[in-house]
Amino acid sequence: MHHGTQVNDEIILSVEHLKKRIGKRWIVQDVSFEVRAGEIFGFLGPNGAGKTTTIRMLVDLIRPTEGQVSICGYDVQKQPELALGLVGSIVENPEVYTYLTGWENLEQFARMMPGIDAGRLQEVVDLVGLDQRIHDRVRTYSLGMRQRLGIAQALLGRPKLLILDEPTNGLDPKGIKEMRSFIRRLAKEGLAVFVSSHLLSEIQVLCDRVAIISRGRVLAVGAVNELIDTSKGYVVWELEPSSAGEEMLQELGISIIRNADEVLDDAIIAGFGSRAIVTQMQADAVADIVPRLVNSGLQVRSVQKIIPTLEQLFLEMTDGEGVE
C-alpha cells in the first residue's frame, strides 16, 4: 500500500535488542526495530507473542531485562521525563477516569506535562470530534468515544510518536474506517505512528512498514510491499475445458494448489467459479503461458492474480505455526 507519505530519515523510535524475562520465562527474547518520522509502523503478531510486553517497555511501564528503547535519542529508562514527553500512547484499552468528564480527564493529563493550556485541550477535542460530549461523564461514553478520548489525550502533548495498541479493536466498520483515515492524516503531518495488531489485514491496509513478532522474537522487519514481493503469489485460472487446462498447466511445470481453502482467505475463494484452478507461481510468467494455452485450443476465461496476505507470509516464515 502506498500512502504517499513523506517518510524522512529522522529516527523517532529506536528499539535495540529488547529482552524481558518474567520469572524464568523470556517473554520477549530479542526485539529490535526503528520507526521514522511520518511513517505508520505496524507491529504484528498473534496474541501472546510479546506484543503488549514490548509496547509496555516502550512507554516505561515495564523495565526491560536487557536492551534499550530510545525516543528521539532519549533513553526511556534513564530520562523518562524527556522521552515520555515526546510520546502519546494508548496501551490496550483507553482507560480513563470514568467518574470524571472527558474534559476533566484531559485536564488531569494536561497538568502532568508542561505547556498545555485550555486552547490546546479544545484543539485536540475538535480534532477527534468529541466537542459535543466532552463535558459528559466518561461513564456514559460508548467504546468509540472512549477510543477518541484516548487519542485526544495521546495527542495532547504534541507528541512525535504515537503508540496505538490495537486501535480498531471493538470499533464498528464505520469507526474502523474513520480511525484509519485519522491515523493516516496524523502520519502525513509528520507524526511517527506505531500500531500493533494481531489482524494482518489491518496492518496491510494501514502500515508502511511492519515488524512481525512471534514467540518474543522479531521474524522480519521491512516495507509491507517488499515482504509481499518476496513471497510467491497465487494465480487463479478459469479455463475451458477445465480438465484439459489443468493437465496443460501441469505439463508446463506449474504447481496446482488443491487445498485452496486452507491457504487462501474464504472471501477470495468465494469469488471464484466452481472450476477455478488455483496455482502458485510468479505472476510475471502469466504472459508466457497464456499464448501456449490458447495455441493448444483452450479457452482462457479469466486469469486472476492474488496478492498474498500477511497470513500467508506469516505461515511461510514460521513454517505453519499459524496466527491465533
| Chain positions contacting another protein, by CB under 8 A | 22, 56, 59-63, 80-85, 87, 89, 91-93, 95-100, 104, 107-109, 111-114, 153, 157
How far apart are CB 56 and another protein at their closest, in Å?
Answer: 7
CB of 138 to another protein, least distance (A): 11
Contacts of 195 (CB under 8 A, 6+ apart): 40, 41, 42, 43, 164, 167, 183, 202, 203, 206, 207
Closer by beta carbon to another protein, 159 or else 308: 159
Q: How far is the CB of 111 from another protein (least distance, A)?
A: 4
Q: Are residues 29 and 36 in contact, defined by beta-carbon separation less than 8 angstroms?
A: no
Is 57 or 228 the residue whose CB approaches another protein more closely? 57
Query: Whose Cβ is closer to another protein: residue 4's or residue 119's?
Result: 119
Q: Which of 153, 199, 154 is closest to 176 using CA atoms?
A: 199
Minimum CB distance to another protein smaller for 53 or for 309: 53
Question: CB of 320: closest distance to another protein in angstroms?
Answer: 31
Which three cell numbers mark 4? Answer: 504517499
Q: How many residues does the chain have?
A: 324
CB of 112 to another protein, least distance (A): 4
Q: Which is nearer to another protein, 1 or 99 (CB)?
A: 99
87 vs 186, beta carbon nearer another protein: 87
Residue type, 17: H
Residue type, 136: D
**Where does residue 157 rank: exposed (0-12), middle (13-18), buried (19+ CB within 10 A)?**
buried
Measured in degrees and rounded to the nearest 5, phi and psi for residue 128 equal -90, 0
Cell of 40: 505508520
- DSSP for 240-257? ESHHHHHHHHHHTTPEE-
Nearest approach, Cβ of 22 to another protein (angstroms)? 8
Instruction: Give the whole-angstrom CA distance, residue 277 versus residue 279.
Output: 6
Residue 241's Cβ-side half-sphere holds a number of Cα atoms within 13 Å equal to 3
Smallest gap from residue 280 Cβ to another protein (A): 43
**Which CB sits closer to another protein, 56 or 198?**
56
